[in-house]
Amino acid sequence: MLQWCGAARAGPRARSRGLCSGRAGVVCAGSRRFVAKFEDELMKIAVVSDLHLAPDGVNRCTATPAELLHLFETIQASADRVVLAGDLFDLDRPRMLGGWRAQLAQLYREQPELLERMEAFEWLVGNHDAALCRRAVPQERCVLADGLRVLIRHGHQWDMPLKKMPALAPSANFVAGWLQRADLQGAASALGRAPLVFDRMLNRNKKGGRDRLLEGAQALLVEEGWDVVVCGHSHDLRLVAGEHGLFVNTGSVCEGTIDWALIDTDAAAPSVTLMRDGQLHERAEKLAGRWQLLSAT
């Protein structure tokens, strides 16, 4: 028996378009998570994050629409389900403060085929498209299959407190959007990096600052008993195997590469494979009860 946790819906328009599975869901006892049950015994789940799509000169996605459509065709052929794990869009860089709806509507007009394809997938919110929560897009999903427990979220939940201050991040990103429109990409990027620089200053004893995503994921592996915790957010494609489980970062599609992860829940040989630009980047398998990293070659 497989259980799929998180709101049982795809993109925000999917239900009206008939793209959802229509399977019944139940609320987990003692949990805020919504669970949709599926009869499949095995499942392959593809996870892509951090596309950062936007219209009007503020698009940060480095893949062309044709390349994205090819990516989606590839992962649909490889997986039973596809999760877009946050920061699908840069909705916090509109022309007018609070104009995220107009930002999204313009993107639908500019790239209808691409957005239509994305509607068939499972969405999660990230920090740059957090407004999607107003359209019932959840913050996390979980898979319980063949004894394997997988949690998927964007990862901004582990950000430093400075980035969580009300209105600070939205205001900074709004300004960064106008810097982009003015062709001042360097200034826009510097504004985005400022909190990370501040974090490193506060944690001088740690090379490169704190690894907040890894720390947060490892805490969930220990405290909640997940086998695999998956996130994006940092654009850092990697696997980290530890005593209590596996941490997966799905990379991005906005740094000149096309990254994604494939999770195979096969009870006999569960695995996670990272792909970059169509090539195997890294792979982990659960052998004798422990996750082991395997050479990409």
pTM, two decimals, is 0.81
According to the model, what pLDDT value does residue 252 have? 97
Contact 202, 254 (CB under 8 A): no
Contact 263, 234 (CB under 8 A): no
According to the model, what pLDDT value does residue 296 have? 65
Tell me the pLDDT band of 179, cut-offs 50, 70 and 90. low
According to the model, what pLDDT value does residue 171 have? 67
For the beta sheet containing 44-48, the strands, ordered from the edge strand earlier in sequence to the opposite edge, are 122-124, 81-85, 44-48, 259-264, 271-276, 279-287, 290-294
Tell me the pLDDT band of 51, cut-offs 50, 70 and 90. very high
According to the model, what pLDDT value does residue 267 have? 84
Better-scored residue on pLDDT, 236 or 170: 236
Query: Is the confidence at residue 9, as pLDDT, over 50?
Result: no
- Residue range 194-215: average pLDDT? 66
Question: Which of 43-52, 77-86, 152-161, 184-193 has the weakest average pLDDT?
Answer: 184-193
Structure tokens at 292: 């082991």
For the chain, the residue count is: 297
Domain boundaries, the chain: 42-156+210-294, 161-205
- Residue range 3-19: average pLDDT? 46
Nearest-angstrom CA–CA distance, 240 and 40: 28
pLDDT digits (tens, 9 = 90+) for 112-122: 999 999 999 99
Nearest-angstrom CA–CA distance, 36 and 82: 15
Rounded alpha-carbon distances, angstroms, from residue 30 to 26, 41, 278? 12, 25, 41
According to the model, what pLDDT value does residue 251 have? 97
- On the CB side of 73, CA atoms within 13 Å amount to 8
- Residue range 209-218: average pLDDT? 89
Question: Which of 74-78, 236-240, 263-267 has the weakest average pLDDT?
Answer: 263-267
Tell me the pLDDT band of 36, cut-offs 50, 70 and 90. very low
- CATH architecture, domain defined by 42-156+210-294: 4-Layer Sandwich (3.60)
Nearest-angstrom CA–CA distance, 249 and 86: 12
Nearest-angstrom CA–CA distance, 235 and 53: 15
Q: What is the DSSP string of 60-126?
A: ---S-HHHHHHHHHHHHHH-SEEEEES-SB-TT--SSTT-HHHHHHHHHHH-HHHHHHHTTSEEE--
Rounded alpha-carbon distances, angstroms, from residue 21 to 17, 25, 106, 123, 130? 11, 11, 28, 14, 24
Contact 174, 92 (CB under 8 A): yes
According to the model, what pLDDT value does residue 21 have? 31
Query: Is the confidence at residue 24, as pLDDT, over 60?
Result: no
Nearest-angstrom CA–CA distance, 121 and 116: 10
Query: Is the confidence at residue 46, as pLDDT, over 50?
Result: yes
* Short-list 81, 145, 105, 147, CA closest to 12: 105
Q: Which residue has the tokens 């530890």?
A: 242
Q: What average pLDDT is seen over the chain?
A: 80
Rounded alpha-carbon distances, angstroms, from residue 238 to 143, 211, 255, 261? 20, 13, 15, 10
Residue 57 dihedral angles phi and psi, to the nearest 5°: 80, 5
- Residue range 213-238: average pLDDT? 96
Tell me the pLDDT band of 280, cut-offs 50, 70 and 90. very high
Contact 95, 55 (CB under 8 A): no
Structure tokens at 158: 């582990």
